[in-house]
Amino acid sequence: MPRYFVDPDIASARTIHTDYYTSPASFESSKEKIFAPSWQYIGDTGRVTANGSAWPFTLLEDYIDEPLLLTKDKDGIVRCMSNVCTHRGNLLVYEPCKLNQLRCRYHGRQFGLDGSFTSMPEFKEVKDFPTAEDNLHQLPVFRWGNLLFGSLQPAVDGSQVFGDMQQRMHWFNMDALQLRADLCKDYTVKANWALYCENYLEGFHIPFVHAGLNQVLDFGEYTTEIFRYSNLQLGIGKKGDSCFDLPASSPDYGKEVAAYYFWVFPNMMFNFYPWGLSFNLVQPLSVDTCKVSFITYVNDEPKLNTGAGSGLDTVELEDEEVVENVQKGIRSRFYTHGRYSVKREQGTHHFHSLLAEHMNK
Protein backbone atom coordinates (compact mmCIF):
# COMPACT_ATOMS: atom_id res chain seq x y z
CA MET A 1 0.00 0.00 0.00
CA PRO A 2 1.37 3.46 -0.81
CA ARG A 3 1.78 5.97 1.99
CA TYR A 4 0.18 9.33 1.40
CA PHE A 5 1.60 12.66 2.48
CA VAL A 6 -0.05 16.07 2.54
CA ASP A 7 2.00 18.92 3.99
CA PRO A 8 0.08 20.62 6.83
CA ASP A 9 1.22 23.98 5.43
CA ILE A 10 -1.24 24.59 2.59
CA ALA A 11 1.10 27.12 0.99
CA SER A 12 3.74 24.39 0.57
CA ALA A 13 1.47 21.39 0.12
CA ARG A 14 0.77 19.31 -2.95
CA THR A 15 -2.54 17.51 -3.42
CA ILE A 16 -2.84 13.85 -2.47
CA HIS A 17 -1.23 11.47 -4.96
CA THR A 18 -3.51 10.40 -7.80
CA ASP A 19 -3.01 6.76 -6.81
CA TYR A 20 -5.75 7.33 -4.27
CA TYR A 21 -8.32 7.80 -7.05
CA THR A 22 -7.08 5.04 -9.33
CA SER A 23 -5.66 2.25 -7.15
CA PRO A 24 -7.97 -0.73 -6.48
CA ALA A 25 -5.83 -1.50 -3.42
CA SER A 26 -6.43 1.95 -1.94
CA PHE A 27 -10.13 1.67 -2.71
CA GLU A 28 -10.35 -1.63 -0.82
CA SER A 29 -8.17 -0.44 2.04
CA SER A 30 -10.42 2.60 2.52
CA LYS A 31 -13.24 0.29 3.65
CA GLU A 32 -11.52 -0.50 6.94
CA LYS A 33 -9.28 2.54 7.35
CA ILE A 34 -11.77 5.28 6.47
CA PHE A 35 -15.36 4.05 6.35
CA ALA A 36 -15.60 1.37 9.07
CA PRO A 37 -14.40 3.73 11.84
CA SER A 38 -16.39 6.72 10.53
CA TRP A 39 -19.89 7.88 11.41
CA GLN A 40 -22.45 7.27 8.69
CA TYR A 41 -26.02 8.37 8.02
CA ILE A 42 -28.38 5.47 8.82
CA GLY A 43 -31.70 7.22 8.20
CA ASP A 44 -34.12 9.16 10.38
CA THR A 45 -36.64 8.43 13.08
CA GLY A 46 -39.37 8.24 10.43
CA ARG A 47 -38.14 4.75 9.62
CA VAL A 48 -39.24 3.45 13.02
CA THR A 49 -42.16 5.62 14.08
CA ALA A 50 -44.16 3.18 16.22
CA ASN A 51 -42.94 1.11 19.18
CA GLY A 52 -42.14 -2.37 17.89
CA SER A 53 -40.92 -1.10 14.51
CA ALA A 54 -38.00 -2.76 12.73
CA TRP A 55 -36.30 -1.44 9.60
CA PRO A 56 -33.62 -3.54 7.85
CA PHE A 57 -31.04 -1.79 5.67
CA THR A 58 -27.57 -2.24 4.23
CA LEU A 59 -24.84 0.19 5.23
CA LEU A 60 -23.07 1.57 2.14
CA GLU A 61 -24.57 -0.98 -0.22
CA ASP A 62 -22.19 -2.37 -2.87
CA TYR A 63 -19.18 -1.25 -0.81
CA ILE A 64 -19.24 -2.02 2.93
CA ASP A 65 -22.44 -4.08 2.44
CA GLU A 66 -23.13 -4.52 6.16
CA PRO A 67 -26.68 -5.78 6.98
CA LEU A 68 -28.06 -3.67 9.83
CA LEU A 69 -31.35 -3.16 11.62
CA LEU A 70 -33.04 -0.17 13.21
CA THR A 71 -35.53 -1.00 15.96
CA LYS A 72 -37.77 0.93 18.32
CA ASP A 73 -38.66 -1.05 21.43
CA LYS A 74 -41.76 -0.87 23.66
CA ASP A 75 -40.16 1.97 25.63
CA GLY A 76 -39.56 4.02 22.49
CA ILE A 77 -35.78 3.55 22.47
CA VAL A 78 -34.25 3.54 18.97
CA ARG A 79 -31.33 1.18 18.44
CA CYS A 80 -29.11 0.04 15.58
CA MET A 81 -27.76 -3.52 15.53
CA SER A 82 -26.56 -6.31 13.31
CA ASN A 83 -29.31 -7.91 11.22
CA VAL A 84 -27.45 -11.25 11.19
CA CYS A 85 -28.48 -14.14 13.43
CA THR A 86 -25.66 -15.24 15.75
CA HIS A 87 -26.46 -18.93 15.14
CA ARG A 88 -25.77 -19.54 11.44
CA GLY A 89 -25.67 -16.06 9.91
CA ASN A 90 -29.16 -15.82 8.41
CA LEU A 91 -30.66 -12.37 7.94
CA LEU A 92 -33.20 -11.80 10.70
CA VAL A 93 -35.57 -9.20 9.24
CA TYR A 94 -36.22 -9.08 5.51
CA GLU A 95 -38.50 -6.06 5.23
CA PRO A 96 -39.84 -3.19 7.40
CA CYS A 97 -42.37 -4.50 9.94
CA LYS A 98 -43.78 -4.30 13.45
CA LEU A 99 -43.08 -7.10 15.93
CA ASN A 100 -42.61 -7.89 19.59
CA GLN A 101 -39.37 -9.83 19.20
CA LEU A 102 -36.85 -10.84 16.56
CA ARG A 103 -37.13 -14.47 15.48
CA CYS A 104 -34.84 -16.10 12.94
CA ARG A 105 -36.79 -17.90 10.23
CA TYR A 106 -34.03 -20.46 9.77
CA HIS A 107 -33.86 -22.23 13.16
CA GLY A 108 -36.03 -20.14 15.47
CA ARG A 109 -33.42 -18.27 17.55
CA GLN A 110 -35.07 -15.29 19.25
CA PHE A 111 -33.87 -11.88 20.36
CA GLY A 112 -35.42 -8.89 22.08
CA LEU A 113 -35.79 -5.61 20.20
CA ASP A 114 -32.71 -4.49 22.11
CA GLY A 115 -30.73 -7.27 20.38
CA SER A 116 -30.33 -9.46 23.46
CA PHE A 117 -30.56 -13.23 23.03
CA THR A 118 -33.73 -14.68 24.59
CA SER A 119 -34.15 -18.30 23.45
CA MET A 120 -33.07 -21.06 21.08
CA PRO A 121 -34.78 -24.43 20.47
CA GLU A 122 -32.81 -27.71 20.70
CA PHE A 123 -29.83 -26.13 22.48
CA LYS A 124 -30.15 -27.61 26.01
CA GLU A 125 -27.05 -29.76 25.63
CA VAL A 126 -24.78 -26.97 24.42
CA LYS A 127 -22.12 -26.09 27.00
CA ASP A 128 -21.37 -22.52 28.11
CA PHE A 129 -24.44 -21.18 26.34
CA PRO A 130 -25.59 -18.47 25.93
CA THR A 131 -22.75 -15.95 26.16
CA ALA A 132 -22.46 -12.28 25.19
CA GLU A 133 -21.50 -13.44 21.69
CA ASP A 134 -25.03 -14.75 21.21
CA ASN A 135 -26.47 -11.23 21.46
CA LEU A 136 -26.73 -9.15 18.31
CA HIS A 137 -23.85 -6.72 17.87
CA GLN A 138 -24.91 -3.19 18.82
CA LEU A 139 -23.84 -0.06 16.97
CA PRO A 140 -23.69 3.28 18.75
CA VAL A 141 -26.36 5.72 17.53
CA PHE A 142 -25.89 9.47 17.40
CA ARG A 143 -29.09 11.45 16.99
CA TRP A 144 -29.44 15.06 15.88
CA GLY A 145 -33.05 16.09 15.62
CA ASN A 146 -34.67 13.34 13.58
CA LEU A 147 -31.44 12.32 11.84
CA LEU A 148 -29.65 9.13 12.90
CA PHE A 149 -26.00 8.21 12.48
CA GLY A 150 -24.11 5.04 13.35
CA SER A 151 -20.62 3.62 13.19
CA LEU A 152 -19.36 0.06 12.76
CA GLN A 153 -16.32 0.67 14.97
CA PRO A 154 -16.15 4.35 15.96
CA ALA A 155 -12.70 5.82 16.35
CA VAL A 156 -14.12 8.87 18.15
CA ASP A 157 -17.40 9.80 19.83
CA GLY A 158 -20.12 11.25 17.60
CA SER A 159 -20.07 14.52 19.53
CA GLN A 160 -16.49 15.10 18.35
CA VAL A 161 -17.57 14.64 14.74
CA PHE A 162 -20.85 16.56 14.70
CA GLY A 163 -20.34 18.91 17.64
CA ASP A 164 -18.87 21.88 15.74
CA MET A 165 -21.74 21.85 13.27
CA GLN A 166 -24.32 21.46 16.03
CA GLN A 167 -22.89 24.39 17.94
CA ARG A 168 -22.87 26.64 14.88
CA MET A 169 -26.46 25.65 13.98
CA HIS A 170 -27.84 25.56 17.53
CA TRP A 171 -30.67 27.91 16.55
CA PHE A 172 -31.82 25.79 13.58
CA ASN A 173 -34.94 23.72 14.36
CA MET A 174 -33.77 20.22 13.43
CA ASP A 175 -36.87 18.64 14.99
CA ALA A 176 -39.12 20.43 12.47
CA LEU A 177 -37.43 18.88 9.43
CA GLN A 178 -39.74 16.66 7.39
CA LEU A 179 -38.44 14.16 4.83
CA ARG A 180 -39.70 14.90 1.33
CA ALA A 181 -39.27 11.64 -0.58
CA ASP A 182 -40.60 13.30 -3.76
CA LEU A 183 -37.61 15.67 -3.71
CA CYS A 184 -34.97 13.00 -3.03
CA LYS A 185 -32.82 11.71 -5.87
CA ASP A 186 -29.81 9.47 -6.52
CA TYR A 187 -27.10 10.22 -9.07
CA THR A 188 -24.51 7.78 -10.40
CA VAL A 189 -21.25 9.64 -11.01
CA LYS A 190 -18.40 8.12 -12.99
CA ALA A 191 -15.71 9.32 -10.64
CA ASN A 192 -13.99 8.23 -7.44
CA TRP A 193 -15.99 9.21 -4.35
CA ALA A 194 -13.13 11.39 -3.08
CA LEU A 195 -13.06 13.47 -6.27
CA TYR A 196 -16.72 14.28 -5.74
CA CYS A 197 -16.07 15.32 -2.13
CA GLU A 198 -13.09 17.51 -2.90
CA ASN A 199 -15.04 19.32 -5.62
CA TYR A 200 -17.73 20.09 -3.03
CA LEU A 201 -15.11 21.33 -0.60
CA GLU A 202 -14.10 24.45 -2.47
CA GLY A 203 -16.08 27.37 -3.82
CA PHE A 204 -13.19 28.22 -6.13
CA HIS A 205 -14.97 26.68 -9.11
CA ILE A 206 -18.34 28.40 -8.58
CA PRO A 207 -17.75 31.37 -10.95
CA PHE A 208 -16.42 29.02 -13.63
CA VAL A 209 -18.87 26.11 -13.36
CA HIS A 210 -22.09 27.33 -11.70
CA ALA A 211 -23.38 30.43 -13.45
CA GLY A 212 -26.78 30.24 -11.74
CA LEU A 213 -25.39 29.74 -8.25
CA ASN A 214 -22.87 32.51 -8.82
CA GLN A 215 -25.78 34.89 -9.42
CA VAL A 216 -27.06 34.48 -5.85
CA LEU A 217 -23.81 34.13 -3.87
CA ASP A 218 -21.32 36.89 -3.15
CA PHE A 219 -18.16 35.09 -4.19
CA GLY A 220 -15.95 37.78 -2.68
CA GLU A 221 -17.43 37.02 0.77
CA TYR A 222 -17.32 33.22 0.42
CA THR A 223 -15.27 31.76 3.29
CA THR A 224 -14.18 28.36 4.64
CA GLU A 225 -13.73 27.40 8.30
CA ILE A 226 -11.89 24.24 9.33
CA PHE A 227 -12.75 22.00 12.29
CA ARG A 228 -11.26 18.63 13.31
CA TYR A 229 -13.60 16.30 11.39
CA SER A 230 -15.70 18.80 9.47
CA ASN A 231 -15.55 22.14 7.74
CA LEU A 232 -17.93 24.92 6.79
CA GLN A 233 -18.28 26.96 3.65
CA LEU A 234 -20.34 30.04 4.43
CA GLY A 235 -22.38 31.25 1.46
CA ILE A 236 -23.20 34.95 1.69
CA GLY A 237 -26.17 36.03 -0.41
CA LYS A 238 -26.54 39.14 -2.48
CA LYS A 239 -28.85 41.90 -1.31
CA GLY A 240 -32.52 40.98 -1.72
CA ASP A 241 -31.93 37.23 -2.07
CA SER A 242 -33.41 34.53 0.17
CA CYS A 243 -31.30 34.47 3.35
CA PHE A 244 -31.59 33.22 6.92
CA ASP A 245 -33.22 35.37 9.59
CA LEU A 246 -30.48 34.75 12.13
CA PRO A 247 -30.94 35.19 15.89
CA ALA A 248 -28.60 37.38 17.90
CA SER A 249 -27.13 34.20 19.46
CA SER A 250 -25.70 33.13 16.09
CA PRO A 251 -22.04 34.03 15.48
CA ASP A 252 -23.17 35.01 11.97
CA TYR A 253 -25.79 37.49 13.18
CA GLY A 254 -25.93 40.51 10.91
CA LYS A 255 -24.65 38.63 7.85
CA GLU A 256 -26.78 37.84 4.78
CA VAL A 257 -26.22 34.08 4.95
CA ALA A 258 -27.83 32.28 2.00
CA ALA A 259 -26.43 28.82 2.77
CA TYR A 260 -24.36 26.87 5.28
CA TYR A 261 -22.38 24.17 3.48
CA PHE A 262 -21.05 21.72 6.08
CA TRP A 263 -18.95 18.71 5.12
CA VAL A 264 -18.42 15.91 7.67
CA PHE A 265 -15.65 13.35 7.18
CA PRO A 266 -15.58 11.32 5.11
CA ASN A 267 -18.63 11.52 2.82
CA MET A 268 -21.49 13.63 4.19
CA MET A 269 -22.64 17.11 3.16
CA PHE A 270 -25.19 19.13 5.14
CA ASN A 271 -26.50 22.00 3.04
CA PHE A 272 -28.67 24.27 5.17
CA TYR A 273 -30.96 26.70 3.35
CA PRO A 274 -33.79 28.94 4.61
CA TRP A 275 -36.23 26.21 3.49
CA GLY A 276 -34.50 23.31 5.26
CA LEU A 277 -31.69 20.80 4.67
CA SER A 278 -30.39 19.15 1.53
CA PHE A 279 -28.34 16.27 2.88
CA ASN A 280 -25.92 14.66 0.42
CA LEU A 281 -24.39 11.23 0.95
CA VAL A 282 -21.52 10.09 -1.30
CA GLN A 283 -21.31 6.30 -1.50
CA PRO A 284 -18.36 4.52 -3.15
CA LEU A 285 -19.31 1.86 -5.72
CA SER A 286 -16.01 1.19 -7.48
CA VAL A 287 -12.64 2.86 -7.78
CA ASP A 288 -14.04 5.16 -10.48
CA THR A 289 -17.78 5.28 -9.69
CA CYS A 290 -19.86 6.59 -6.81
CA LYS A 291 -23.52 7.17 -5.97
CA VAL A 292 -24.58 10.56 -4.65
CA SER A 293 -27.89 10.67 -2.78
CA PHE A 294 -29.69 13.99 -2.35
CA ILE A 295 -31.98 13.58 0.67
CA THR A 296 -34.33 16.52 1.18
CA TYR A 297 -35.72 17.67 4.53
CA VAL A 298 -38.02 20.70 4.54
CA ASN A 299 -39.13 22.94 7.41
CA ASP A 300 -40.29 26.08 5.52
CA GLU A 301 -41.92 25.00 2.25
CA PRO A 302 -42.84 28.49 0.93
CA LYS A 303 -39.10 29.20 0.63
CA LEU A 304 -38.40 26.15 -1.57
CA ASN A 305 -36.80 26.93 -4.94
CA THR A 306 -35.47 30.29 -3.79
CA GLY A 307 -31.94 31.62 -3.40
CA ALA A 308 -28.92 29.36 -3.16
CA GLY A 309 -31.18 26.41 -2.36
CA SER A 310 -32.87 26.44 -5.77
CA GLY A 311 -31.86 24.64 -8.95
CA LEU A 312 -29.92 21.96 -7.07
CA ASP A 313 -30.37 19.44 -9.87
CA THR A 314 -28.70 21.81 -12.33
CA VAL A 315 -25.81 22.43 -9.94
CA GLU A 316 -25.39 18.67 -9.47
CA LEU A 317 -25.21 17.98 -13.21
CA GLU A 318 -22.63 20.74 -13.62
CA ASP A 319 -20.53 19.20 -10.84
CA GLU A 320 -20.86 15.72 -12.35
CA GLU A 321 -19.50 16.88 -15.70
CA VAL A 322 -16.45 18.40 -14.03
CA VAL A 323 -15.55 15.51 -11.71
CA GLU A 324 -16.08 12.89 -14.41
CA ASN A 325 -13.60 14.75 -16.61
CA VAL A 326 -11.18 15.01 -13.68
CA GLN A 327 -11.43 11.22 -13.22
CA LYS A 328 -10.27 10.85 -16.83
CA GLY A 329 -7.55 13.46 -16.39
CA ILE A 330 -5.93 12.08 -13.24
CA ARG A 331 -5.12 8.85 -15.08
CA SER A 332 -2.62 10.80 -17.19
CA ARG A 333 1.04 9.83 -16.87
CA PHE A 334 1.79 13.55 -16.77
CA TYR A 335 -0.21 14.36 -13.62
CA THR A 336 0.31 13.08 -10.08
CA HIS A 337 -0.13 16.16 -7.85
CA GLY A 338 -1.44 19.71 -7.96
CA ARG A 339 -1.13 22.71 -5.64
CA TYR A 340 -3.73 24.48 -3.50
CA SER A 341 -5.07 28.01 -3.55
CA VAL A 342 -4.33 29.19 0.00
CA LYS A 343 -7.43 31.38 -0.02
CA ARG A 344 -9.91 29.13 -1.80
CA GLU A 345 -8.98 25.48 -1.26
CA GLN A 346 -8.61 25.11 2.51
CA GLY A 347 -11.46 22.58 2.57
CA THR A 348 -9.89 20.34 -0.06
CA HIS A 349 -6.53 20.52 1.73
CA HIS A 350 -8.29 19.55 4.98
CA PHE A 351 -9.97 16.58 3.31
CA HIS A 352 -6.74 15.34 1.74
CA SER A 353 -4.97 15.68 5.09
CA LEU A 354 -7.61 13.50 6.77
CA LEU A 355 -7.41 10.93 3.96
CA ALA A 356 -3.64 10.68 4.39
CA GLU A 357 -3.94 10.50 8.20
CA HIS A 358 -6.38 7.59 8.06
CA MET A 359 -4.80 5.70 5.19
CA ASN A 360 -1.41 5.73 6.86
CA LYS A 361 -2.64 4.14 10.11
pLDDT at 315: 78
Q: Say what the alpha-carbon torsion angle 118, 123, 128, 130 is, to the nearest 10 degrees.
A: -10
**pLDDT score of 116:** 98
Task: Give yes or no for a contact between 20 and 349, defined as CB atoms under 8 angstroms apart.
Answer: no
- The three-class DSSP label of residue 351 is helix
**CA distance linking residue 197 with residue 222, whole number of Å:** 18
pLDDT in the model for residue 167: 97
Domain ranges in the chain?
40-150, 163-359
Tell me the chain's radius of gyration from C-alpha atoms.
Answer: 22
- The model's pLDDT over 262-276, given as tens digits with 9 standing for 90+, comes to 999 999 999 999 999
Q: How far is 341 from 348, CA to CA, in rounded Å?
A: 10
pLDDT recorded at residue 288 = 97
Q: CATH number for the 40-150 domain, one of 3.30.1330.10, 2.102.10.10, 2.30.42.10, 3.10.20.30?
A: 2.102.10.10
Instruction: State the Cα–Cα distance between residues 312 and 316, nearest whole angstrom.
Output: 6
* pLDDT score at 311: 74
* Low pLDDT (below 50) residues in the chain: none
Instruction: Tell me which CATH code domain 163-359 carries.
Output: 3.90.380.10
Counts for the chain of helices (H) and strands (E), in that order: 8, 19
Say what the pLDDT of residue 196 is: 94
